[in-house]
Structure 1
């Protein structure tokens, strides 16, 4: 199994917390904080776009 380097949890309004991670191959991962074993994966570019949209308030309904 690929080793994922998880960042500190990011918590939005209403305690919607998630963690972001990457592996050595450049794959990006996102998981609900505390449930890192059940994650989604995509390219680093796709994850970066998602993060920018969340922080801009465009995708807070996804949390």
Structure 2
């Protein structure tokens, strides 16, 4: 697996914390904090859209 540069964890109120990261090839990853060895991957744009929806409170039920 490529080396992933993880951002600081994002933790919602009463929810699990998750992290997003990128590798040197520009791939994006998302994982539950402290489970970074099992990330989901997609395009950076798709993950950014998901994170923005979660932070806005419109998609918290997806996680």
Query: TM-score when scaled to structure 2?
Result: 0.92
CA offsets per residue over residues 16-51 of structure 1, 9 Å max, x none? Answer: 200110011111000000100011000011011101
**Structure 1 segments unaligned to the other structure (5+ residues):** none
Structure 2 counterpart of 1:52: 52
**Structure 2 segments unaligned to the other structure (5+ residues):** none
Q: What is the RMSD computed on CA atoms of the aligned residues?
A: 0.9
Greater than 3 Å deviation, 4+ residue runs: none
Which structure shows the bigger proportion of residues in helix conformation?
1
How many residues end up aligned between the 2 structures? 63
Query: TM-score when scaled to structure 1?
Result: 0.92
In the alignment, structure 1 residue 14 sits paired with structure 2 residue 31:
no
